[in-house]
Amino acid sequence: MKTLLKYEFKKTMISKIIILIALAIAQMLIMIGHFTHNGIDGNGFILYGLTVTFGGFMIGIMSIITLLNDLSNNHSYMLFMTPHSSYAILGAKVLENALSLFLFAVISIVMIIADFFMYGGYKQNLIHIDWPMQMTLNRTLGLFGYALILWLSLVCLIILSIVIQATLFKDAKHNFLLSLLVFIGLSIILGMINSFVSGLIPHRFDAVAFVILNILVIIGTYIGAAALMDHQLSL
């Protein structure tokens, strides 16, 4: 698993470096604007916001892109012919996705905190901003963990759809459209199950039930995709 994880990080390293460079440039503009008072820090905050939004999204879908490439490129396809099991290969992709998003979030949050303290004159105003739900650090971490689980659930659904496209629908004329329909269908079923469960439990437990449900989805789709690869994937 360690070797596979390094391999996954290596394949997406260039894109991540570009995103980190964009973050560094944004931070540099913010600092220059703060100390020179020339207003360029506004451009830095705009670049920072765009980089966090689109950079985070790109980091989140890189494992999906690499899986598509691995299944469509003959050279990358050889990865699945190594002694590593499909469970380990897919596990490395999902784990790389989660770790990359976590590290990116940590870096982004550290930059925000640093800027808050750098703008000492505005610190009191920032502290007294009426943040949504009066978020504390613990609540923020909880919301991030919640969002990460939901994202990984979505990623695993997409991975299962891609594997179905490469196995069960391999010889179909419109295999991409069929796999897209599978993804949409699974998403609808998941939403229906969530609504059904929400109607059976008290409202205050909705979030907990939704997290448990999505963890089960992650486990189920991961096992299903790996099992399909082991039994159906062939050169």
Q: Write down the pTM of the prediction.
A: 0.76
| Interatomic CA distance for residues 24 and 30, integer angstroms | 10
| Interatomic CA distance for residues 221 and 158, integer angstroms | 9
Please provide the average confidence, as pLDDT, over all residues in the chain.
Answer: 81
The one-character DSSP state at 142 is H
One DSSP character per residue, 21-70 reads HHHHHHHHHHHHHHHH-SSTHHHHHHHHHHIIIIIHHHHHHHHHHHHHHH
Task: Collect all residues with Cβ–Cβ distance below 8 Å to 33 and sequence separation of at least 6.
Answer: 39, 40, 41, 42, 43, 44
pLDDT per residue as tens digits for the range 162-220: 888 888 888 778 888 998 999 999 999 988 888 888 777 777 777 788 888 889 999 99
Higher pLDDT, residue 158 or 122: 158
Q: Are 118 and 28 in contact (CB under 8 A)?
A: no
Task: Collect all residues with Cβ–Cβ distance below 8 Å to 55 and sequence separation of at least 6.
Answer: 19, 22, 23, 104
Both tokens of 218, joined, read: 């992650």
**pLDDT(50) > 70:** yes
pLDDT per residue as tens digits for the range 101-157: 889 888 888 888 787 777 654 444 444 444 444 455 566 667 778 888 888 899 999
